[in-house]
Amino acid sequence: MNIEKYSPSIRMIHWLMFILFAIIFVFGFVMVEFKASEPWMMYNFHKATGVLVFLFVLFRLVLRWKTQIPPPSAEIKPSEQSIAKITVFLLYLFMIIVPLTGYALSNVHGYHVSFYGLPLPDLFPSVETWENISSLLHEYSAYIFLGIIGLHLLGVIKHHLKGQDILHRIT
């Protein structure tokens, strides 16, 4: 039996994560721009929300594995379906990479991560020689992730403009 939509739980998590990623990216840009004023509360919120998103990603992966997902639309060319599959894979990959590199960035610089006040263990050693590497990894992986999100959005817009209603699958 083919289904037309993702499960309600996957749809809800998709849009919740979209909102949380938007907030995290805005906070990330603001924190970097106003670094001199030491916006520590923003850093703590950014890190805690990153942990929350990472937990949602893990839950989302389990749901995606355990629930039936709608098949690709017959209106969409096989080559476009391949691009969509690669894009979704990259989205999931960077939903894991970006929070992990952020966690590493904090620990490597000697800062702890807490989950809205609950202290979390340091998973990465504080190593001065890794500070620049961890900073670059987190920053560039976030930019790559933004680019992949942009590609995802462009694909949705393209198919919507062609009259291929794929957005209903996730709304």
Neighbouring C-beta atoms of residue 106, cutoff 10 Å: 25
Instruction: Give the pLDDT of residue 166.
Output: 86
pTM: 0.90
Q: In the predicted model, what is the mean pLDDT of the chain?
A: 92
Q: Confidence band (pLDDT; 50, 70, 90) for 1?
A: low
pLDDT in tens, 57-92: 999 999 999 999 898 888 889 999 999 999 999 999
Q: Token match 């949602």: residue?
A: 56
Instruction: Give the pLDDT of residue 97.
Output: 96
Give the pair of three-digit tokens for residue 164: 């291929």
Q: Confidence band (pLDDT; 50, 70, 90) for 39?
A: low
Average pLDDT over residues 135-148: 96
Residue (of 18, 55, 23, 50) closest to 170 by Cα position:
18
CA 8/CA 43 separation, integer angstroms? 32
pLDDT above 90 covers a percentage of the chain that reads 73
pLDDT in tens, 106-119: 999 999 999 999 99
Average pLDDT over residues 12-26: 95
Query: Per-residue b/e over 125-142, b at no fewer than 16 CB within 10 Å?
Result: eeeeebeeebeebbbebb
Reply yes or no on whether the pLDDT at 144 is more than 70.
yes
Reply yes or no on whether the pLDDT at 168 is more than 90.
no
CA 87/CA 161 separation, integer angstroms? 19
Residue (of 13, 4, 100) closest to 63 by Cα position:
13
Residue 62 burial (C-beta neighbours within 10 Å; 0-12, 13-18, 19+): exposed
Helix 8-33 vs helix 131-161: crossing angle, to nearest 10? 130
Alpha helices in 34-168 (DSSP H): 40-66, 78-108, 131-161
